[in-house]
Amino acid sequence: MTSQKTDTELDITTLADRTANWRERLKEHQHRLDSDPSEVLSVEGRLTRMVGLTLEAVGFQAPIGSRCEVQGAGGKPIEAEVVGFSGEILYLMPTGDIRGLVPNARVRPIRSDSQVPVGDALLGRVVDGACKPLDGKGPLRVKDSMPLHGKLVNPLVRAPVRQHLDVGVQAINALLSVGRGQRMGLFAGSGVGKSVLLGMMTRYTEADVIVVGLIGERGREVKEFIEDILGEEGLSRAVVVASPADNSPLMRLHGAMLATSIAEYFRDQGKQVLLLMDSLTRYAQAQREIALAIGEPPATKGYPPSVFSLLPQLVERAGNGSEGGGAITAIYTVLTEGDDQQDPVADAARAILDGHIVLSRQLAESGLYPAIDVEASISRVMPQIVDENHLEQAQYFKQMYSTYRQNQDLINVGAYAAGSDPKIDDAIAMFPSLQNLIKQSMNQAVDWQQSVDNLTTTMQQPSSQIFGSLQTPTVLHQG
């Protein structure tokens, strides 16, 4: 008898060996998986195309909003975010400099959460759109985190706006009162004084914490804002997120969201937060750049529809928290390109904000600062936050001011004969003091009480009684 194995026996032995082998290897993998899952589960793809700032990658899957690392020349990693996909292709948008990218570069997902580090240690710091310190004061020592895209707040839980906020600007306190938890817009063309007025409100508004988002504006203004407007004392209770115009569109977008997340963090701690964003238009433009780059069709003035859904997502995050909790009072500057009040971003912003302060180029050119166009501006929460007396005086002011402005051309050329219309006569007599109420030097604050008193004094002028045409509200004469 030979002990030679049959073919079947041979197959069984090989199979047993192989199974043992596989078991051994699986055990090894299990061990590696237990110790560091990311190392084992890393999937890689490659870069296939790059057009403008859009990168196209294939070979792996990653959710929208997740971060990837692209291996640049010499192993330099470049971070990018997944912003869209088509079939098997993922569209990525770099967060920083893209020099050094090569065809077929390796791309691997690095994280999919979009949490940002937050904490009290942020106070007094200046960070970029990725929350990295820009001020050279060392690393941020913060332990908490907040979602970059915010948490949805149940609208029924939000406390209504009921309390006025002293912003230190007389025309706003008296005529366009801002409430705690209100979201206001400062609308103007370029160079009319948005940033200066925002700076005044930063300096003079009472708030526990000030969060400033300098988004897509001039890099020069960042240092100026910190040194000249905030100053040492102001900065100690402020957080500045700076993502100027030369940052990538993604960074600018994230800068605005980060500033809002930081404001939410302090609001959730019960603090009164003042959130200032210069500017909302640059935020919309950053989204326009991204959306157009990944192929979304433009709608109005080159802005794709996603811009108009992203604006309310950002703005709705500000406002009051639950009853008795903190509040984010937000002020956004909005650039009305070419002084066009119907600019699509301005129009969308006006519809979602709780009020707008419009600055007029004509007033600025005549040297009347702050150049607030009282006729075109409105605070939608004013009736809920001021007493009836104050509201009626403000409305009376607007009537007189508007009467004068509508007839200004006639008056200036001497075509108006005094006495023809008692209402206009009143307006002419009162106009200098109406203008005085708006005028204010940028280095001077007028507190709430003083503003209300000055409004009362202005509106109680004898002129209206001389002609007796316009019914002076009876409530004007306070006891």
Ligand X SMILES: Nc1ncnc2c1ncn2[C@@H]1O[C@H](COP(=O)(O)OP(=O)(O)OP(=O)(O)O)[C@@H](O)[C@H]1O
What is the C-alpha separation between 186 and 194, in angstroms, rounded?
Answer: 6
Shortest reach from residue 131's CB to Mg ion, in Å: 24
281 lines the binding site for Mg ion (CB under 5 A) = no
Q: Residue 353 or 438: which CB sits closer to ligand X?
A: 438
Shortest reach from residue 218's CB to ligand X, in Å: 7
177 lines the binding site for Mg ion (CB under 5 A) = no
Q: How far is CA 320 from CA 140, 280, 317, 402, in A?
A: 28, 20, 9, 33
- The one of ligand X, Mg ion, none whose footprint includes residue 330, by CB under 5 to 8 A per kind, is none
Q: Residue 221 or 426: which CB sits closer to Mg ion?
A: 221
Beta bridge partners of 178: 165
What long-range pairs does 441-446 form, CB within 8 A, spacing at least 24? Answer: 441/369, 442/196, 442/199, 442/200, 442/369, 442/370, 445/168, 445/169, 445/200, 445/203, 445/204, 446/168, 446/169, 446/170, 446/173
Residues 180-209 that bind Mg ion (CB under 5 A): 194-195
- The one of Mg ion, ligand X, none whose footprint includes residue 434, by CB under 5 to 8 A per kind, is none
Number of residues that make up the chain: 479
- The one of ligand X, Mg ion, none whose footprint includes residue 193, by CB under 5 to 8 A per kind, is ligand X
- The one of ligand X, Mg ion, none whose footprint includes residue 191, by CB under 5 to 8 A per kind, is ligand X
Shortest reach from residue 281's CB to ligand X, in Å: 9
Nearest to 99 by CA among 81, 65, 82, 74: 74
Please count the other Cβ atoms lying within 10 Å of the Cβ belonging to residue 114: 17
Shortest reach from residue 179's CB to ligand X, in Å: 23
- The one of Mg ion, ligand X, none whose footprint includes residue 442, by CB under 5 to 8 A per kind, is ligand X
Shortest reach from residue 206's CB to Mg ion, in Å: 24
Q: Residue 195 or 329: which CB sits closer to ligand X?
A: 195
- Residue 413 CA neighbour count, 13 Å, CB half: 4
Q: Give the footprint of ligand X on this chain (CB under 6 A).
A: 188, 190-196, 217, 335, 369-370, 442
Residue nearest to Mg ion (CB): 195
Shortest reach from residue 431's CB to Mg ion, in Å: 29
Q: What are phi and psi of 10, to 5 degrees?
A: -60, -45
Residue indicated by tokens 């959460």? 113
The counts of H helices and E strands in the chain are 17, 19
Q: Residue 25 or 218: which CB sits closer to ligand X?
A: 218
- The one of Mg ion, ligand X, none whose footprint includes residue 81, by CB under 5 to 8 A per kind, is none
* Footprint of Mg ion (CB under 5 A): 194-195
